[in-house]
Chain A
Amino acid sequence: EVQLQQSGAELGKPGTSVKLSCKVSGYNIRSTYMHWVNQRPGKGLEWIGRIDPANGNTIYAEKFKSKATLTADTSSNTAYMQLSQLKSDDTAIYFCAIQGYYGFWGQGTLVTVSS
């Protein structure tokens, strides 16, 4: 069974960074892309970017190029997303998803930015 287990909720102060994790079981992340998507409170889904864990290649949506950094550790089958220079409008649930069609999703990590 494929499972994506995301790290717990984060409370970050403005101007700081947080690093989220997404650990995959039942699927080798070398064989897939890892996508990251966010959802602001009461809003729709927004694509942040994707990483190819096999070679570390990344593609980002323009608005997240200086906000998000995607990495992956194939030895632990885990992907990471660091969010930097946090602002209040970074408050959202962040999801990871694998496969070209986003076939499997993590449960989401709530990031709250507040002083």
Chain B
Amino acid sequence: DVLMTQTPVSLPVSLGGQVSISCRSSQSLVHSDGNTYLHWYLQKPGQSPQLLIYRVSNRFSGVPDRFSGSGSGTDFTLKISRVEPEDLGVYYCLQSTHFPNTFGAGTKLELK
């Protein structure tokens, strides 16, 4: 199985600040069709996960441009700028290039 290593585990932030979350895979996430199926989600307390970024860098419908994704191969980053209160929660990366699909362990974004 592809191991997704997400860092840091916990990320204290001040409102208005900028943060980055890293997600590294144990093997390349480039699919045979040429696409890279690495996605990012936010799970707020008591809620279902919500899609933020799909295929590395594409913002899902309604996601503000404060969220951006980048990376390639095995190394990926989610950046959040001008952090707002509604951004707090646990962020997960997911790879759906290989079966089984696998999630990172999560990064908790919390206030300093």
Residues of A near any B CB (own CB < 8 A):
35, 37, 44-47, 49-50, 59-62, 95, 97, 100-103, 105-108
Contacts and interface: CB of A to CB of B under 8 A. Distances in A.
Interface in B36-55: 37, 39, 41, 43, 48-51, 54-55
22 contacts: A35-B101, A44-B92, A45-B94, A45-B103, A46-B103, A47-B101, A50-B101, A59-B100, A61-B100, A95-B49, A100-B96, A101-B37, A101-B39, A101-B60, A102-B39, A102-B51, A102-B94, A103-B54, A103-B60, A106-B48, A107-B48, A108-B48
Contacts, number: 54
Contacts of A46: 103
B69 interface: no
Contacts of B54: 101, 103
Contact of B99 (A59, A102, A103, A106): A59
Contacts of A37: 103
Contacts of B106: 44-45
B11 interface: no
B102 interface: yes
Nearest to B54: A101
Interface of B: 37, 39, 41, 43, 48-51, 54-55, 60, 90, 92, 94, 96, 99-106
A102 B49 contact: yes
Contact of B102 (A47, A103, A106): A47
B103 A47 contact: yes
Contacts of B96: 100-102
Given A100-B37, A101-B39, A108-B48, 5 more contacts: A44-B105, A60-B100, A101-B55, A103-B51, A105-B50
Nearest to B61: A103
A10 B106 CA distance: 27
A101 B36 CA distance: 11
A73 to B, nearest CB: 22
